[in-house]
Amino acid sequence: MNKQIALHPDLDDDLLDVMEPDNGGSVSDELSRNLRALWSTFYRNRLLIAAIVGVFMLIGLGVTMLMTPKYRATTSIQIDQQSTNVLGNTDQNSVDPAAAWQDADRFLQTQVDVLQSRAMAITVMQDLNLNANDDFIHQMGGKPADRPAGPLSLADTKREQILNVLSDGLRVDLPRNSRVADISFTSPDPRLAARVANAFAADFMIFNMKRKFGSSTYARNFLESQLSDTRSKLEQSERALLDYARSAQLLDVSGGIASSTDGSTTGTPRSLTTSNLVQINDAYAQAQAARVQAQQHWEQAAATPPMQLQEVLTNPAVMQLAQLKAQAQAAYQQDLQRHKPDYPQMQQAAAHIAELDRQLNSLATSIRGSIKEQYATALKQEQALSGQVNGLKSSTQNEQSRSVEYNILKRAVDTNRTMYDSLLQRYAEVSAQAGVAANNISQVDVADTPDKPVSPKPLINLALAMILGMMAAAGFVLLRDKFDDSVRTPEDVNSKLGLTFLNSTPMLDQEMTPDEALSDPRSALSEAYSALRTSIELSHKGGAPRTLAVTSTRQSEGKSTSAFAIARNFAKIGRSVVLIDGDLRKPSLHRLANVPNGRGFSNLLARMGSIDEAIQPTETPNLSLISAGPLPPNPAELLSGARLPELINELAERFDVVVIDAPPVLGLADTVLIGSTTEATLFVVEANGSHHGHAKTAVRRLTGNGITIIGALLTKYDARKIGYGYGYGYNYTYSYSYGQPDAPSSSRKWPWSKK
């Protein structure tokens, strides 16, 4: 007995739990089971997980493709804690007192805060004139405000919107142990990103310099007074020039100062009449060229037959009509071989071809007429512009005679402006000298227009989408498994059905039938049923039960094969066994045992024969079979009589073991009637075959009627298919290969694998 137990797969953890009392197990064993169950859940749903992850990755790819690319331009500035005196007196220190080195980090952080301040954003906005229109908001991918926000006006609301966009796109990075700060700006427009980043750097350096300027020297006061006087003279001369231009009706579209092509000022203003003359003259030249081109085109078209014009040949409508005509002519020529020209159908075809010719000629004539119209239009435009040019010539000559005094006044304006610019430049130089310290902020790198976007990042987005997809898939699979009551593993037999797991039978190859597997004593199926017989003996008080019913939730779960195999295994160890086919609706044991089904169980229940007449010997010694016999019209009524318990007791007295193949539980009362007359009932469950609570309902129905269920058999169990792998398949392989000649593991064929 000990050797047999060692050879069978019932020595796995589940059978040991049946043979030994449950002491709770160790924490590591519990963790191992939980991890194994978790891996099995993921493995079973691997295709669903892959589909969910794939959907998330497709969504991530779609979002990435729909995202607007953003570019980041970066400029860098060096922030020194001290600056040198370049124009100071000799009695002044050449270097300003430096701040304490303990405050270096605070000083640098202060500069970063100034860069990110609202005042700096306002300076950049004004410097780049971003609030002039809504272009900046559009370039940043936003929508300009169309209504006031709260107490603010619409203009103030747009101004605040621009400042917020500047603050959001700005990033200042100051690495640790470094005085070089990176100023970055992110925008959908790469050129705009570079402009704004450089503007922040430039305006910050100017802002820093302004704090160093002085404003109380004598030179600056003197220059300020001179600038005020010169500014007044310049304004007076400009007003005099403007008054004369109005009185003389000289409209200077250049603002009173005409410029030549080289940028120098000229004495003659660019008046409205002159400007119109130049523009209309240019238009006249273009119209004249267009008229000449149109005339040449028309002359060429007039001398060419309509159907030979390039415009006609390339016209889609003409090409389509020509194709239709060619097809009609080809059809006409083909029909001409069978009919004469005066045949009605031939006359219709000829009329159709003539109509196509007419449409072609009409369309070609229309196209040539459009060429003539283009020439006529160009001629009229040339004539109209010629009259306007002649009229503006005389007006321009009259204005030139009145421009002499205008030039005299204009030279006075130019002289005052030159003097004012010189004083202004000198004032700027003096103001620069007032700041005796050089700027401690210097630009290191200028922001160039970025050529690659910083976002979106396809690889990162896809990685995030994959992670989110895996999390969603894991959550969905775990939630789905939480509400899934199908029995897949030995642990599910106890956790979901509340039954003791006795053993499991492996999934057979497709080309192997149960009869063939049971005929081979070394097959995995034979070994599994041998182990099941041992489990039945150990799980029932006093050894194997004298009467045993085998049932299942539904048909095709392997109960008949299991009943036959259990009976045969008991017979092989020397016990006298009778196997009864109690399924009076769909019997099958007579085919497994290869015996006739003339008289059987139904005859005995109806008291239409003796037991000796119904019992049939089988090929297995010590095993007898009572087939189902003729199928009764109402099996439940036949089983509910007093004959069933009498018959079972009589057979139990004559045989050591009575095994009954009972019908499925659901929908029938037969199993309840049979199970109530036996000592124990074996419940057969197909692995991954029972869903929607059917197995639970069947177990509750049996136990609710006082039937003793000795345990459950898990059939068609494929550990590797559900992801339990080597650990669950080891026992079958060991029992199958025990006693076999040694062979390389690669040459062995797993007995539970499916092809």
Q: pLDDT digit string (tens) for 530-563?
A: 888 888 888 877 778 999 999 998 888 888 999 9
Span 2-26+34-39+487-744 CATH architecture:
3-Layer(aba) Sandwich (3.40)
Q: Does 3 score more than 70 pLDDT? A: no
> Is the model's pLDDT at 740 over the cut of 70?
no
Exposure pattern of 314-336 as b/e (b: 16+ CB <10 Å)? ebeebeebbeebeebeeebeeee
Domain locations along the chain:
2-26+34-39+487-744, 45-66+457-481, 71-212, 272-401
pLDDT for the residue numbered 213: 56
Choose between 652 and 12: higher pLDDT.
652
Mean pLDDT value of segment 479-485: 71
Task: Give residue 726's pLDDT band: very low, low, confident or very high (50, 70, 90).
Answer: very low
The residue among 752 and 406 whose pLDDT is bigger is 406
The angle, 0 to 180 degrees and rounded to 10, between the axes of the packed helices 46-66 and 27-44 is 70
In whole angstroms, what is the distance from residue 496 CA to residue 693 CA? 9
Q: What is the DSSP letter of 156?
A: H
Q: What is the pLDDT of residue 12?
A: 41
CA atoms within 13 A on the CB side of 699: 21
The band of 176, judged by pLDDT with boundaries at 50, 70 and 90, is: confident
Burial of 186 (0-12, 13-18, 19+ CB in 10 A): buried
Whole-number Å distance between alpha carbons of 43 and 48: 10
Q: What angle do CA 614, 615, 617 make, to 5 degrees?
A: 140
Using CA atoms, how far apart are residues 619 and 575, in angstroms rounded to an integer? 15
pLDDT of res. 439: 72
Please calculate the CA angle 574-7-514 and round it to the nearest 5 degrees: 70
Per-residue pLDDT averaged across 741-748, rounded?
36
Band (pLDDT 50/70/90 cuts) for residue 211 is: low
**Rounded percentage of the chain residues whose pLDDT exceeds 90:** 13
Mean pLDDT value across residues 589-594:
87
Q: What's the rounded Cα separation, in Å, for the pair 670 and 584?
A: 9
Q: Residue 270: its pLDDT value, please?
A: 55
CA distances from 718 to 38, 492, 634, 732 (A): 17, 14, 38, 11
Residues 726 and 755 sit within 8 Å (Cβ to Cβ): no
- The tokens of 448 are what? 């160039």
> Is 728's pLDDT higher than 70?
no
pLDDT in tens, 228-246: 888 888 888 888 877 877 7
Q: Lowest-pLDDT range, 268-272, 439-443, 676-680?
A: 268-272
**pTM of the complete model:** 0.46
Residue 721 pLDDT more than 50?
yes
The band of 581, judged by pLDDT with boundaries at 50, 70 and 90, is: very high
Q: In whole angstroms, what separates CA 105 from the centre of its chain?
A: 44
- Answer yes or no: are the C-beta atoms of 712 and 500 closer than 8 Å: yes
pLDDT digits (tens, 9 = 90+) for 55-94: 998 998 888 888 888 899 999 988 887 655 554 444 443 3
Q: Give the mean model confidence (pLDDT) for residues 223-231.
A: 81
Q: What is the mean pLDDT of residues 243-260?
A: 61
Which of 21-30, 92-101, 194-203 is most confident? 194-203
Q: Where are the beta strands (DSSP E) in 646-695?
A: 657-661, 680-686
Do residues 563 and 551 lie in contact, with contact meaning Cβ atoms separated by under 8 Å? no
Is the pLDDT at 739 greater than 60? The verdict is no
**Least trusted range by pLDDT, from 201-205, 322-326, 671-675:** 322-326
Q: Which of the residue ranges 148-157, 359-368, 683-692 has the most confident prediction, judged by mean pLDDT?
A: 148-157
Q: Residue range 452-464: average pLDDT?
A: 86
| Res 263 pLDDT > 80 | no
| Choice between 526 and 265, residue whose per-residue pLDDT is larger | 526
Token pair for 258? 């005409």
Q: What is the pLDDT of residue 745?
A: 34
Measure the N-to-C terminal CA separation of the chain; round to a whole number of Å. Answer: 35
**C-alpha–C-alpha distance, residues 96 and 309, integer Å:** 87
Average pLDDT over residues 677-688: 89
Reduced to 3 states (helix: H, G, I; strand: E, B; else coil), residue 542 is: coil
Buried b / exposed e over 45-74, threshold 16 CB at 10 Å, is beeebeebbeebbeebeeebeeeeebbbbb
What mean pLDDT is reported for the chain? 78
The DSSP H or E segment spanning 535 is helix 524-539
pLDDT digits (tens, 9 = 90+) for 339-377: 888 878 888 888 888 887 887 788 878 887 888 788 788
Query: According to the per-residue pLDDT averaged within each range, which of 20-24, 112-116, 220-224 is highest?
Result: 112-116
Strand order of the sheet with strand 547-552? 501-506, 709-717, 680-686, 547-552, 657-661, 577-581, 623-626, 616-617
pLDDT of 269 above 60: no
Residue 61: partners with Cβ closer than 8 Å, 6 or more residues away: 458, 461, 462, 465
Residue 13: is its pLDDT beyond 50?
no
Strand stretches in 457-576, DSSP E = 501-506, 547-552
Contact 387, 349 (CB under 8 A): no
